[in-house]
Amino acid sequence: MFAWAMAISLLVIFASAIPPLGPILFVALMPIVTLMTLSACKHVEADRVMLPSMWPKPLQKPGVFKKLFTMGLLYAGLCMLAGLVSFLPFSGALTEGMRAASVEQSLAPLLSAMAWPLTVFAALYVCIAALFWHAPVLVAWHGLRLAQAMFFSGVACWRNKWAFLVYGLVWVMVFMFIDLCAGLLVSVGLPPNVASTIQIPFNIAAGGVLYCSFYPAYTSVFGINDTSSQLDHGNSAQA
């Protein structure tokens, strides 16, 4: 998963290099990335060695790639819509905050102006994320339609909301701790660019573990699908 996290990091860099199409394409590919990650975790749990040929296997089932890419486009569209709904009503305050920040040579006015838009966006994004959290595997492993998968994903997240709240807070603290350690290195005299370079592999490793954690989150809510497990055994044998 460390290698997989590095691949995703490179994809982020590539997406950032060709705005605005790159970021949209990156978000649209996230359901596909999620399915491949969880399928790899299933192989590892079954004590199978992950071969390179096994990574694209989950996408070779008829219709899966098209459904997941459609899901990704819908996800990207809803995220952009949430951004517009969150920031457009506050455009005047944001413009004034940028002007004040430029005059005062401080980010404080801009950060203050962005507080409410970011809060609204965070609330909307949590709802969107709940709809798509389990949807890729529900489509690929359980054969549900897109609307069904999103509905059951949202219901599952709501029924387990307190567990997911703890899960989210823990991961926020993990990445904040990594940032804190980098800050401590700077405070003891290490150049900021060196501290940032040291921080990169820890961020990548934490990202890999985060993606791995999606699998036990899924199995603890839905269990392990026997049909998909048998299919994976067949794919593993072919690989």
Question: What pLDDT, on a 0 to 100 scale, did the predictor assign at position 70?
Answer: 93
Task: Please check the confidence at residue 19 and state whether its pLDDT lies above 90.
Answer: no
CA pair distance 67, 85, nearest whole angstrom: 27
When mean pLDDT is compared over 27-36, 152-161, 185-194, the highest value belongs to: 152-161
Phi/psi of residue 189, nearest 5 degrees: 115, 0
Give this prediction's pTM. 0.78
Of residues 2, 46, 15, 28, the one with CA closest to residue 230: 46
Question: What pLDDT, on a 0 to 100 scale, did the predictor assign at position 207?
Answer: 83
Q: What digits encode the pLDDT tens for the residues 48-89?
A: 888 888 888 888 888 899 999 999 999 999 998 998 998 888
